[in-house]
């Protein structure tokens, strides 16, 4: 009798294991990756700050900038301006890895930081980017200069 119970128990365990193993695996529900399209731009301001790329995310345009020489920097979000060849202005909506003035940051060559704007219209071919869109800001410190880039060609970008 004991032997029969062991055989039944073993068969039950084997059947249970086979059932568990045979169930199809369920993949976790993962949100699809957000598409990011980036476009290489190599425009330098006075051989100090370089626009390296412009990226289009779902509802944000991100401009990547890179320091060319050792630099002390800060920015005011409300004074960063981006316009296209049609005169449309795009609102600045964020900064990353650069402090808000008057706080400053000293960085080495190669340091990257980012300015974010609302999404660009399709089909544009030129942009103007300035750090002093109000044109009435005094420099934060003596010998301070505001960055600007005119006629940035983006017609090759596939946003």
CATH of the domain at 115: 2.60.40
**pLDDT at res. 11:** 46
Span 129-152, pLDDT tens digits: 998 776 666 666 667 788 899 999
Q: Note whether residue 6 is domain-resident.
A: no
116 token code pair: 């974010």
**pLDDT at res. 121:** 92
Domain range for 116 is 37-136+146-153
Query: Looking at the predicted structure, is the pLDDT value of residue 70 above 80?
Result: yes
pTM of the model: 0.74
Q: Note whether residue 141 is domain-resident.
A: no
Q: Note whether residue 19 is domain-resident.
A: no
CB 94 within 8 A of CB 88: no
Span 11-65, pLDDT tens digits: 455 554 555 454 545 555 565 556 778 999 999 999 999 999 999 988 899 999 9
**pLDDT at res. 110:** 96
Q: Note whether residue 10 is domain-resident.
A: no
Q: Note whether residue 23 is domain-resident.
A: no
Query: Looking at the predicted structure, is the pLDDT value of residue 73 above 70?
Result: yes
Q: Note whether residue 31 is domain-resident.
A: no
157 token code pair: 């970008």
Span 93-134, pLDDT tens digits: 999 999 998 899 999 999 999 999 999 998 999 999 998 776
Q: Note whether residue 89 is domain-resident.
A: yes
Q: What is the 3-state secondary structure of 90-124?
A: ECEEEEECCCECCCCEEECCCCEEEEEEECCCCCC
**Domain count of the fold of the chain:** 1
Tell me phi and psi for residue 59, to 5 degrees: -135, 25
Q: Note whether residue 92 is domain-resident.
A: yes
């Amino acid at each position: 009798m004991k032997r029969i119970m062991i055989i039944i128990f073993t068969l039950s365990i084997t059947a249970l294991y086979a059932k568990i193993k045979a169930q199809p695996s369920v993949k976790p529900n993962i949100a699809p990756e957000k598409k990011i399209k980036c476009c290489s731009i190599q425009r330098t301001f006075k051989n100090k700050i370089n626009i390296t790329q412009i990226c289009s995310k779902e509802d944000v345009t991100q401009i990547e900038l890179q320091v060319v020489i050792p630099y002390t920097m800060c920015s005011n979000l409300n004074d960063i301006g981006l316009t296209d060849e049609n005169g449309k202005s795009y609102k600045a909506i964020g900064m990353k890895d650069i402090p808000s003035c008057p706080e400053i940051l000293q960085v080495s060559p190669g340091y990257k930081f980012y300015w974010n704007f609302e999404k660009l219209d399709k089909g544009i071919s030129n942009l103007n980017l300035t750090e002093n869109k109000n044109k009435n800001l005094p420099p934060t410190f003596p010998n301070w200069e505001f960055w600007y880039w005119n006629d940035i060609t983006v017609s090759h970008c596939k946003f």
